[in-house]
Amino acid sequence: MPPAAGVLVYGPEFFANTALPTALDMVQRLPGFTLDVGNGDARGIAGNTGNVLIDGKPPASKTDGLGEILRRISAGSVARIELIRGGAPGIDMQGRAVIANVVLKRTASTEKLINFQSYIYRDGYVGPDLTLQYARRDGDRRDEVSLEVLSDRTNYTNHGIRTREDAAGNLLQRHRLDQWDRDRTATLRASLQRAVGGGLLTVNARADYFDYPTSLTVTLLEGRGSSGQAIDITHQWKGELGANWTKSLGEKSEVELIALQRLGHTGYDSTTNAGGFVSTFGQQSRNGESVFRPILRYKPSKALSLEGGGEIAYNFLDNRTAYAEQGVPVALPDEKVFVSEVRGELFGLARWQPSSRVTLEAGMRTEVSRIASDGDTDRARSFFYPKPRLQLTLRPNARDQVRLRAEQSVSQLDFNNFVAATEINLGTVRAGNGDLVPEQTLTLEAVYEHRFWGKGALELSAKHEATRHVIDYIPLEGGYDAIGNIGNGTRDTVGSTLTLPFDKLGIKNARLRGSASVVRSHVTDPLTGERRRYTNEQPFTCSGSFSQDLFGGRFTYGVYASCGQPDTRLYRIAEFRTTQVEPALEVYTIWKPSKRLAIRVDAGNLLNAARTYDRNLYTGERNVAPLLYRERATQRRGQYLYVQFRRTL
């Protein structure tokens, strides 16, 4: 059967001359496609599972990230990958314009896999990561189990210099910063798929334990003041059980049921000693999520498909915090909070394709939720939001596609913003705020896509977002600030992506991938009343990579570079921050000496890119209070090697 209009099929021949070992590598090779792993921390399922499907369905797990799932699927298990642009009959697009569908082979096979990978840092530290995996696939019957253990560190381990100056530019202090962390994790995953009740049932389970100690040592080099140290540790466990059941109701209909249960606990303790002044912060929290999502799909004709369903979810966060200075407890707003949410959603979607050149998709989601917060004061609020969506896809010819989208969306409130929090490395404390309301955004987007030279793709996009109730920092009584709503704002984004194959330029099996975007946003500052950009907005981003496959697919090499991060800004009530990151460069190679063994080596952060933080701290609200001092901290992580051995037994 020929693929539907707007569907590009990449079969074994497309990947035949590559050394790519996993489905993740294959997806990242698709021309004109950018992987989005979704947001596993967001509540609910709709729109949070990323832009890749497995056999036409999203993963039945949220904690198990999409990138992790794809990394565990060997390239030899993939029959083909379908790139669906603008929608296709029977495919849940998850509210996205472009989806990649990884179709697995149905032939009987058993795979036993050992994956060992490690980061090797310039100071000699080695961070090992070992995964043992078993998978058995036979048509619709599948069993998978894996165990992963690691002990590594993050880019929080680094060294740098911090200076503080007064308003006149006179040096107050110069410190050396030595930051250290360890990430120790154990993860057990299991999945099975069976024919049950005339349909297909997939069940996923996952359990994680996470241990994360960190420290920051500040050594005075010049000026008046003192040295100090901050130490903290996080212990976390979480578990998830998810199920997905689909059944055909004749030739034209299908029902899908999704259920999910997650539970977790986090303990966090920190101690800061600044010249003998000791402050402590402790936090204990429990969280959980229960979700049920039924979907009914009906295809009355080749040109028309309908989809409807709903989702009901219950989420909670039970949080306790304690803050003390010199052993004396200091009260914080909402330091003990129980937050819960009951949310329901109904949705309907119609996809009409009157010809191979036109697809029209119209949908409506209605969300009803009730968020209750039991803290310093009991609060309970109910919300109702309609969320219409309209997308028109035009295909004037086989190589070009135009997508136009208008959509009303609503953000999710982060329960962590309801409770107090601290930044151990900066010595700041943020209060909780139970009066938050979600952001509401109207999005207008236009995308032009052009395919060329068989493996080439160019995409140009423009997007306008108008947002009500922008979330940012607001002042509270007592000199604290918290996350709150500051009014209306707009954001405009212009972007482009390019996949340029070099075959026609005389370099076989080579390609250049690049992307760039320019963002301009505007919102009114709650203190100054002036227009400014959104907090942490990156006004310009760009990246590029070059790779080539050699020796009949046994060897691949590549180079990746990014432009860095220019001047992102954060506006707190008594503080203004900017962050800059220098451009980065890394190279990698993949070698497959046999079909069962793949070896990858990456040399990362070759330029030893600096991350620079600037802070202006004031004695009170930054629009009226005098400057206390200016601070600049420059940190470097150092170069590292990444080595991976992937062996199929």
Predicted pLDDT of residue 90: 60
Nearest to 481 by CA among 540, 560, 417, 390: 417
- Counting every residue written for the chain, the total comes to 649
A 10 A CB-CB count for 505 gives: 11
Mean pLDDT by 10 residues, the chain (649 residues): 71 87 90 80 67 81 78 89 77 76 89 93 92 91 94 89 92 92 94 92 94 93 90 94 92 91 94 88 92 92 90 92 88 80 92 90 92 76 91 92 94 77 66 82 96 93 96 82 91 96 91 95 93 93 94 92 90 91 95 92 94 92 91 90 92
- pLDDT at residue number 1: 47
Q: Which string of b and e fits 570-594 if b means at least 16 CB within 10 Å?
A: bbbbbbbbebebbebebebbbbbee
Query: What are the C-alpha distances in Å from 333 to residues 46, 481, 513, 573?
Result: 33, 10, 49, 16
| Residue 422: per-residue pLDDT | 66
* Burial of 300 per CB tally in 10 Å (0-12, 13-18, 19+): exposed
User: How far is residue 117's CA from residue 590's CA, in Å, rounded to a whole number?
Assistant: 13
pLDDT at 115: 93
Q: Which pLDDT belongs to residue 424?
A: 55
- Which residues are 575's β-sheet partners? 572, 617
What pLDDT is stored for residue 377 in this prediction? Answer: 64
* Sign for the pseudo-dihedral over CA of 422, 423, 424, 428: negative
Token code pair at residue 334: 């909402």
pTM value?
0.85
- Residues 423 and 416: beta-carbon distance below 8 Å: no
